[in-house]
Structure 1
Amino acid sequence: MKSMKLAVISLALFSHFALADVSPLSVVKDYMSAWNAHDPAKAAQYLSSDVVYYDAASGAPVKGKNNAEKEVIGAFIKAVPDLTWKMTSKPVYDHDTIAFRWEFSGKNSGEWAGSPATHNQIKFEGVSYITVNNGKITWQGDYYDSKKLDEELKPQAK
């Protein structure tokens, strides 16, 4: 019985230290890789169950892992199935928060926010602030040029 308790305590400590060894930057890079693999479920695995995703263009935060997977990650990937999201600056971080500039690009070949695909190439820049606790993203704020994106999504005159 004593050895069983020791094994449980050891496992709990090992699990805690394993999560502690995962740097917030590596979590963010893996999260972005999952986006670039066009896999919403894989990207969502990096989110905490109570994550808050704030998109400055919409102004209303999306709360919860399932909502973020469906309403943010899944929606973007559906709208731009060949998307590329890449860091364009060296990330700045302080303990649990990472900030970086990025570029998002691809072809709008799927529905976007209720509008049909335009088949336009899009490319816009922004900044993300992401907080990571215990190996999971707990908050993400994205700030970008939504006016430029809106222009790129307009149907082209024929």
Structure 2
Amino acid sequence: MTPQEFDAFYSASFSRLTGQLYALTGDWSEAQDVVQEAFIRAWDRRRGLDPGEAPEAWVRTTARRLARSRWRRLARGLHLAGRDHGREPPAVEPPGEEHLVLVAALRDLPEAQRCALVLHHMCDLSVEQVAAETGAGVSAVKSRLARGRNALAAVLTDQTPTGEEGKLRV
């Protein structure tokens, strides 16, 4: 990928990826940080990134792994410091009540279900693509999607924020 192609790729996908990582992490600042770091790593690998082979998936997976790693380091550090590691970080003001309810409901889901829902419904990936990106089997992804949808429906009842074709909106 040439520097010009990379710049176009960055411009076209940074906001979308940040929104997706925000849905996964529940923290806008953290989402911006990990997406930016993932793009820095992608820049170092740009010659090996092929625009036809889903470089956005590579950046998203890298950002997701960075977020998970940061969370583990933070939890471990708080545990070692003897602090209350269940304490929530300062909340970021979401744009509306519907948005806040959905993000909170997603945050309460197990990571595997949350990840499957965000990748499938927000990133418009097929079940097979979600399986490839997460390393899970197709049947596991289908199960996670079904369980995640059921858990969200139970929490959100008739306030479930959906758009066309049942796509989750954030």
TM range (shorter): under 0.3
Higher CA-based Rg: 1
TM-score, structure 2 as length reference: 0.22
TM-score, structure 1 as length reference: 0.23
Higher relative helix content: 2
Higher relative strand content: 1
